[in-house]
Structure 1
Amino acid sequence: MKTEKIYRFMSKEEAMRFLSYKCLINTDVQANKGNKSNAQGFCFGIGDEVQATKDWRRLKGIVTADYLLVGMLKPDEHFVQCKGEYIDWELYDEYLSKGTCLQEQIPTAMFDELCSIFYSLDDFESFDMYKVEVENIDMSISLLQVNGSDEKFRPINDIRAVVNYWDACEKLVDIINEKLFDDSRDPYWIGGVCGGLCDFGDTDFLPPEEMALIIQNEVTYEQYVEWREANLANERKINLQSWLKGARHSMQKDKKANNE
């Protein structure tokens, strides 16, 4: 493979995982998703930040662009060549300059890319990371180089701490789904916020701290349901930690009666 720079627009979460030396994995086959591409996994454009800024015109609306990674791959890495079909804006502009009518069809072309089902920071000889600012009016972008140590992008050790927390939260979800719900649920983080409130379906909503208490105290499904149903039946809620220490809604009623 010819040695040259490649780039990838990505979300903030992906950027943080990349900078914390996580191996990112994606087995999606683009053709199976209805896309006109033979790529599998992560797609990378070919070129530097200048080329990426130019290519943004055809990529906007398709990719998530919180950050831009530009790097030089190490020799003999596992990235393979692929192609993707996008709007050919250069040809479009050429047609317009000649007064050609383009109302029926906007021209497209196949563009060279690289792809891989996995990648990490270790794949790169060198790299630069840029924060992407998208202009609201014309959707153009500007780039601010950050490289993980700029004040606008937390230092590497801080990033690792956040990513490790995310990983731990995901592990808690897996354990709870297995031990409490027999792997029968399809949990997801409400609002996409990992570490917030996880929806396990039905009326089962748990934050990480309650998942940890369930595991730590070996709470059975029957015990969990008793606590859940008691809270659903009463206006005042008892948190799981207090429940495990013996607090009950009847105690609240008795206390209220004694104060009257």
Structure 2
Amino acid sequence: MELSEKSEKLFRAMSVFDTSKGGTSDDSWNLVDGLLSMGKGLMEMKKSGSQELNFEQRKELIVSMVEWTRGIGLFVKAASESKGQSIDLSSFGIDYDNSVESPIKRAMYETQGTFSLPHYLENLPKKAQDVEPFAYNGMSHFIDSLESKCPATTEFKDLFVKLEDYMACFKSASSGSKDFKVDMSRKSQTLFKAMSVLTGGSGISVDSWRMLDGLLTMGKFLVDMKKHGSNEITFEQRTEMVGSMVKWARSIGLFARMASEKKGKTIDLTPFGIFHARNYGKGNFKTSSEL
């Protein structure tokens, strides 16, 4: 089926809703604009082939997805309200008010393209069951942003792959997997090797020990939080979460900076907020419901 035919069918489906006003409403235009933006982004990515995406390309992809989801969300919300049913889009993280950016987008780009940990921690979850996905989401974005600032070598790429692989072990631990210890031992060895390559094979340095301690602290917290299920997390648990995540991010950042300097590249960790964020461990933070 040709694109023009599919577009016509989509337009007719949209026009069924009163809110569409024949396809001329703001919500209709938001939807169409979001679809076009996402399509354009995917076509541009296709041209890159097997090449590794640079920061600008990743940023464009994220922005396109945000516009796509927001456009669809706005239209569906308006259409549902015209039928007497309200939809809350806030849980999707797309902030249907166009004057407000999503938490992830704001955290990624508010400090010149660097993931800002303090900004991310402003949206702490309230339920224990939401802590793990929140933490892994933040950790993934932090690693991606940090990697973009390191030398673009195979050794650094391998480190960050092994790092995410290692942290994923704690998911199986929290689910009660019997293979956790074996899996952890294997991934610990591969991570240690990746770290050793960047330290020049000089064994475990202070930065290496600090990083391993940060990883284990974060992992232990996630495993413990899993036990609380749907319970609302306490102030002490929120404080522990912030402290664990700050320690985790700071330790990885310091190791990456040390390893990068060995390759002749200096990394400024200030924009990440991993030093300023120590204040958040004393209760100077808010949950998303308190903002």
- Structure having the larger proportion of residues in helix: 2
Query: With structure 2 as the length reference, what TM-score do the two structures score?
Result: 0.20
Structure with the bigger percentage of strand:
1
Give the structure-1-normalised TM-score.
0.22
Task: Give the structure with higher Rg (CA).
Answer: 1
Larger RCO (CA within 8 A; separation ≥ 6): 2
